[in-house]
Each structure stands twice: as C-alpha cells, then as structure tokens.
Structure 1
Amino acid sequence: MRTYKLSSLLSTLLIGGVLTSTSSAFAETDAERIKNLEAKLDAVRTELSQMTSGMAHHSNSGAGLPLHGFADIGFATNNGSLTDNQKGFFVGSLSFYLSPNFGDRVKALIEPNFEITPAGEVAVDLERVQIGYTVNDALTAWGGRIHTPYGYWNTGFHHGGQMQTSVLRPRFLDFEDKGGILPAHIVGLWGAGKVKAGTGKVTYDVYAGNGPQIADDPSLPNSATNLGTLTINQAGDNNHQAMMGFNAGYEFFGNLDGLKLAAHGLKGDVDSDVSAGSNTELNMFGGSAVYLANDWEALSEYYHFNDNDKSGNTGSHKSWAAYAQIGKSFNDWTPYARLEKAVLDQSDNYFASQASGQSYARQALGLRYNLNQNAALKIELLNSDFAAEANRTASSYHSLYAQYAVGF
C-alpha cells in the first residue's frame, strides 16, 4: 500500500484547485473567484480530515495486542533438609498478561505462566483465562479460570513477584502446587463490584465453579509419600458439586482513607484420590483487614475451617490459619515483617491428604529496594517450625531468600 505525506498531498490538491479556477478566471468576477476558491479549500480540508481519521483508525486497529508481564530470579539457602528444601540460584517465573481491547464493556484477561518445577523442568500453566462484561461500577461479570477472590493477597498480587513487597507469599496462601491449602484458582463464574455507601464504598465478590480435588503429584519429594496437592478441575467438576464463595468488604475514606475491612467464606465438596473414597465438605469463613496509605502497608487475614467428613464417621473438624504483615516505605526502601501460623486438624482428610497440610508457624523479616517503578531487589530471612503430627515429622530451619523481580 502506497503512503503519501499529507503536506505533499495538500500542495498537489491546492495547485490543482488553483489551475482549475484560473482557467475560467476571465469569465468570473473577483468575488466569484474568491468564493469558488474558498469552496475548493473547504472540500480539500474535509477530504484530508477524512483521510487522516482513516489512517489513525487503521493504525490503532493494527497496533497488535499490548504485552505486559512479570519475571524474577533468585537465590535461596537454608539449614534444613536438602531433600525438602532446595538451595542455590533459581529461575522464578515468567508470567504474561494479555488484555485484548474489545471496547468499553467487554473485557478479557489471559495469563500464561512459565515456571521451573522442583525437578528442573519448565512447566506452563494458563493461570487465568477469563472473559467478562462490565455493566457499571456495581457489577462486572466474569467467566473462565480466575483467581479465587477470598481474602486480600490472592487477588491483590497474582503471579507477579514484583507486585508484592515480600519474596514469598504466606505459605498457606501460596498457589496449589507451591504449598497452598486453599484453591487459589477456580473455573466458573464470578461477579464483582463496588457501591457507594456513606463516605466509603461497599465491595463484593460472589463466585461459583468447579471444586478442586486432591491428586497425586509426582513432583513431590519422597518424604511426601501417600500425599497429594490440590488440583483445579479445568475440564469439568469431578463430583458435580459446585464450590461457592463470597468476599464482602468496606473501603473507608476521609480520616480512615486506605483502610479496608472484609469478610470471606467458601463452601464445597473435595474428593481425595490419595485417600480412597475420601470426600470432605470444605467450609471456610474468615476476614481480612488491610491498610495501604501514608507509606504504610499493613495486611492481615484469618481463615477458620469447620470441615465435615462426608465419607466416614469422624464428624466435623476445626482448623485455622492466619498471617499479619507490616511494612513501611522510606522512599525506595521498604523494611517489613510477617507472622503466620496454621493449626490444621490431621483427622480432617482435607488436610491429612495434602502434602502442605501440616501445622506450622513462620516468621519473616525482609527488605525491599525499588531500583525504579518496574524493578525491585529483595532479601528475606525466615524461621519455620513444622509440628510433629500423625504421619508427619517435626522440622525446624532458617532460610534466606534473595530475589530480583521486574515488571514490564
């Protein structure tokens, strides 16, 4: 396709207009000639405007899909068992964010993620594939594979290491294949929105989808014999029992600007492949308190479990998990500290079947330095204590992590 400079095109059209007008100049009065020239110039301006608009439209529509993402690398060492705690340099993850533009209301988010398994192999996951429609601020409806909207961390930081202040997530809130005890992803429907109330806003999330199952995981160390990890049912629900949940909160403004309080809950049946015939009704309820203002970051979440054994006669089992993290930014420096703990009933098949279902306590101290708004260096010290429980061995160790994380 040929391209022309607008200035050359304008000159050509103007010269053509002048020559045409002069051929009949002797038959026209000065006033008529001026009137005709003005009409021709108006026509040229209109044509140029249409051409410019068309080229701009063509340029925008052919610009392609914007590509954003996150990547990180790091180093880890500890004084624990080498079998369960690898040491040395590592590649973290490479996560891409694709957000096609379909207009003001139709939305989509596709997030392919590349990460290294404990065996050193590259694994690829479609962490999120969701398509939505925004009615107004009070309602956006989504469908597909989403991040389960409980608490704050799971939807606040996603898979980008550069987004979160710390190197590691709280262990019990990690992703399913990283030690998490809750389904961090769900395939189904999700509705979310905000409604003005008083000086602040009420926020809500409601969702329903395929519940997970606990399945064998060949990447687990030998110490995790007869244990599995949560697996997302992406092709359909294996037990035809939907998992449902909510997250309702209030965002304060004015003197309490930056504070958000919320309550969350989740319910659904979970089968375990590693414990034949095991079926548990997962019941979780809890809350979160978050303050993000005046260079402070204060995060806390609580999860209470009251699970029912539907395949045996052991009744209901209560467990809980919580964390609190606080950090303060001093220009580009952010020191932070976190406490986390999980007390998990081992007579509950939901936790007893998971490799990550062991009770533990952990403390973390760290420092983050922002090289710029897209890159950060972090160092983190951790002390971890795992309880001696049925079929599990007690362990205690110290860890050091360093991370270089970028966003683009």
Structure 2
Amino acid sequence: MVTAENVNMNHWQKGLPALLNASLAGLLLTITALAQAESDGVPLHGFADAGFAAHSRNSSDPKGFNVGSLDFYLTPQFDNNIKGLVEIIFETTSTGEVATDLERLQMGYTFSDNATLWGGRFHTPYGYWNTGFHHGAQIQTAILRPRFLDFEDKGGILPAHMVGLWGTGKVSAGDGKFTYDAFVGNGPKISMGPDPASLTTQTIGTLSINTAGDNNHQAMAGFNLGYEFSGMMDGLRLAVHALRGDVEDDNVTGALGTSLNKTEVSMTGGSVVYQANDWEVLGEYYRFSNKDKSGTTGSHSSWADYLQVGKFLNGLTPFLRVEKTVLNQQDNYFSMQESGQSYARQVLGLKYDLNQKASLKFELLNSKFSAESGRTASSYRSLLAQYAFRF
C-alpha cells in the first residue's frame, strides 16, 4: 500500500562520499563560472535558505534542521532585443544528498514592448504561482508552495517546467492591460525508476521533464490569458489557463515498447491575484478531463485549487492558505504518481522581513489524505521554520 507522504524523490543509489565530492566539485566550478560572468558585467543573483521541520508521528517527512537550496541565476542582456536567463540550483534531497539542476535556460527575443519569444527550458506559464515565484524561497510569502503545484522532483502533479517555445506579452486595453502566454514544448513523462529495496521497476513514479527530447513525439501546448486592472481596481488580475498533451510512464510492453499507460491530459482553469493596499490574495483552480488512450476506462474528471490571503503589517505578513485536490484514481495520470492522492491542507503562517533581502518564516500545517484505491488515509500536523535571503 502507498502512504500519502512516503515519497522518495531520488531513487538512485550512489555512494555518499563520491556524491558529495561530485557535488562540491560542481558547486566550485559553477561559482567560478558565475564569478567570471559577474566580472564580465553580467548581473549575478542568488537565493539561499535553511530551516527546521517538526511533524506529528503519522508523517514520514524528514524532521529536524535542514539546508534548503542555493540558487544562482544570471540575466544577460546582449542588446535591446536579445536576452537570456540561466538558473542553476543546488539543493538537498529528502535523503540528505546534494542534487544539482539546471532549472531554467531561456534565450529570448523582444519584438516590442508587447511581445517576447523565449526558447529553452522555462517555468510553464499556467496560473500565477508557477511564474510569479521560482526556486528562490525569499520572494514568496509562504515556506511551501501549494503541494499540488510543487516542482516535479518535490511531488508536483503538473509539469512545472517545459522545454520548448513560450510567447508572452501585455497589450493595453482601456485602463488596464491584457496579458498573454502561449507555449508549446515537450510534455513530461512519469518516471517509475528502480525500487531502492528490490531494484525492480516501481509501480508508481514522479513527473520527469523531457529535457533531451519528447519521449512520445507529441507536443504539449497551452495558454494563459489575463487582464490587469488599474484605477480603483489596481493590483487585481484575473486570468484563464489551459494545457493539453499526452503523458506516458516508463512501463513498456510488447516488441515495439508500447507504453502501458498513456493519458491525454486536458487541464483548464483560472486564477485571481490581488496585490495592493498591503493585501496579498492568490487563488487558482484547475479542472482535469483526462482521457485514457492506452486502455478502455474512458475519460476521468478531477480538480485542484488553493486560496491564500495575507496582510502586510509593518514588516510582518500573517497569512492563511487552504488547498484541496480531488484526484480520480481511475485516471492513470494520477494513480501512477506518488503524489497523486487526494488531500486537503490548511496553512497558517507568518513572514517577518528582517530587511528587503532577508526573511524569517513560520508555518503551521494540517494535512489530511483520503483513503483511495491503492492508498491509505492519513493525517498529520507540521511546524516549519525557515530563514531565507537573496543577494
């Protein structure tokens, strides 16, 4: 049986000394290269965080003190039209290993104030959170992202990253502006990986970015259309989003290597954002109507949403967030993911800005996971603390 939070994101078995040596060598090489880039006039930015976690006994999440991530990013500007963005992150896994990842590598061309085309690896522009924030913890109010919107290697159920093309811009309309994002690229796959205990293929996995090419040769595409108000409604943005593409897992059968599970993922939804008058209101809704393309189970409906409300008070930002998912376990896209279990979570938090570049955060979480086919019900409470800064 699969428990709700028994998620091991790193299934690779490596010797710890060799891994640490490789990670440290990679870190030193990266810092050297970034320092050279800074001396050449390319702005260097970064984020880092460390924290503490305590959970009730029903949780298998790591407890105690932890090192979060060290995030570097560059924003080279080659002329008025050509620009880039590079983000490299070093982070600890749930087993204490150090992982290095090229999170974003974007090359862009600005045609006008209304249109920019990006190519490379970027954050998939659905909703608000996934592009409004990134891997640097200091810029977001909360310690944790909404669970279902987390990054792929953290258990997110949506492709947080994509390799492809992304067009984005704003167009004046009345007193406000229409915003648009349109993207096409490699859809993700569900990576099953070897079981750490038996080295056999696992029965469930995690989303994996197809960085080197699309495993099923079928692109994923989507859009995000919004309107930013001004005047008396300044700070309000309403938007709708959609995404569609085929997703398979690593399990194959037959002489031609046909995937055992292939799903046409079809997502629609909307978002509301209000950031003005010292208020922060963030809300997103996702509706899934996924079609089983490898079997005969038909189409399956699921949904997920969250709402977060915070108030800035002289350096303090208390906030409350509720999030909930109802994920159909007859849908292979969710049943094959370790984090594809339905849940509800309430978060009460506080962010204290020491200055513009350093923050202390505290969160109380109450998490409840549903009893579903192949999964057991569980509930637990958590206390989290984090110190995050940027430079």
1:177 deviates by 1.1
Select the residue among 138, 141, 153 that pairs with 2:114.
138
The residue number in structure 1 matching 2:4 is none
Residue by residue, what CA displacement relative to the aligned partner does 1:202-229 show, whole Å, maximum 9, x if unpaired? 000000000100012469899x952100
Matched, 1:378 2:361: yes
Q: Report how far residue 81 of structure 1 moved.
A: 3.8
Q: What amino acid maps onto 2:112 in structure 1? A: N
CA distance in 2 between counterparts of 1:80 and 1:303 reads: 31
Any unmatched runs of 5+ in structure 1?
1-59
Shift of 1:254: 0.3
Q: CA deviation at 1:289?
A: 0.4
One of 299, 302, 311 as aligned partner of 1:328: 311
Distance in 2 of aligned mates of 1:66 and 1:202: 30
Q: CA 1:122–1:61 in structure 2 vs 1: closer, same or farther (change >3 Å)? A: closer
Q: 1:346 aligns with which of 317, 329, 332?
A: 329
CA distance 1:318–1:154, change in 2 (3 Å):
same
Distance, in Å, in 2 between the alignment partners of 1:90 and 1:271 is 34
Contact 1:379 1:400 in 2 (8 A): yes
Residue 361 (1) aligns with residue 344 (2): yes
| 1:111 and 2:94 are equivalent in the alignment | no
| 1:60-79 to 2 correspondences below 5 Å | 63-79=40-56
- Select the residue among 266, 275, 299 that pairs with 1:292: 275
**Matches of 1:310 and 1:101, distance apart in 2:** 44
**Cα distance between partner residues in 1 of 2:197 and 2:281:** 35
CA distance in 2, matches of 1:221, 1:407: 39
Please say if 1:212 is aligned against 2:188.
yes
The 3 A distance-change label for structure 1 pair 152 and 325 is same
- 1:390 partner SS: coil
Give the partner amino acid of 1:344: L
Alignment partner for residue 235 of structure 2, among 229, 245, 258?
Answer: 258
Quick check: 1:227–1:274 contact (8 Å CA) kept in 2?
no
Aligned-partner Cα distance in 2 for 1:227–1:203 = 38
1:226 corresponds to: 203
Q: Confirm whether residue 246 of structure 1 aligns to residue 223 of structure 2.
A: yes
Aligned match for 1:100, one of 69, 76, 94? 76
Which of 379, 385, 389 pairs up with 2:372? 389
Which of 115, 124, 135 is 2:100 aligned to? 124
Indicate conservation of the 8 Å contact 1:148/1:155, yes or no. Answer: yes
Structure 2 partner of 1:319? 302
Percent of counterpart pairs with the same letter? 64
Output the CA distance in 2 between the equivalents of 1:219 and 1:245: 34
- Displacement of 1:66 in angstroms is 2.1
State how far apart, in whole Å, the 1-side matches of 2:261 and 2:157 are: 17
Moved over 6 A (4+): 219-222
Q: Structure 2: how far apart are the matches of 1:165 and 1:300?
A: 14
Q: Distance in 1 between matches of 2:109 and 2:375?
A: 47
Structure 2 CA distance, aligned partners of 1:145 and 1:274? Answer: 26
Query: 1:109-162: per-residue Cα shift (whole Å, max 9, x none)?
Result: 000011111121110110000000001121100000000000000000111100
Structure 2 SS opposite 1:162: helix
Query: Deviation per CA, 1:152-188, whole angstroms, max 9, x where unpaired?
Result: 0000011110010001000000000112100000000
Alignment CA distance shift 1:232-1:183 (3 Å) = same
CA distance in 1, matches of 2:46, 2:312: 24
- What is the number of equivalent residue pairs in this alignment? 347
| Counterpart AA for 2:91 | E
Contact 2:192 2:249 in 1 (8 A): no
Normalising to structure 2: TM-score of the pair? 0.86
Greater helix content: 1
What is the aligned partner in structure 1 of residue 288 from structure 2? Answer: 305
RMSD: 1.8
Q: Deviations over 1:226-269 (max 9, x none)?
A: 21000000010010000000000000000100000000000000
Query: Residue 404 of structure 1 aligns with which residue?
Result: 387
Deviation of 1:392 after TM superposition, in Å, equals 0.5
Could you say if the C-alpha distance between residues 315 and 331 of structure 1 is closer, same or farther in structure 2, counting changes exceeding 3 Å?
same
1:16-55 per-position Cα deviation (integer Å, ceiling 9, x unaligned): xxxxxxxxxxxxxxxxxxxxxxxxxxxxxxxxxxxxxxxx
Pick one of 138, 157, 174 that aligns with 1:198: 174
Tell me which of the two structures has the higher relative contact order, counting C-alpha pairs closer than 8 angstroms and 6 or more residues apart. 2
- Determine helix, strand or coil for the equivalent of 1:129: strand
In the alignment, the residues of structure 1 paired with residue 182 and residue 235 of structure 2 have an alpha-carbon distance, to the nearest angstrom, of 23
In terms of Rg, which structure is larger?
A: 1
1:161 maps to 137
Distance in 1 between residues matched to 2:121 and 2:197, nearest whole Å: 28
Contact 2:195 2:202 in 1 (8 A): no
2:225 match: secondary structure: strand
Could you list the runs of 5+ residues in structure 2 that have no partner in the other structure?
Answer: 1-36, 253-258
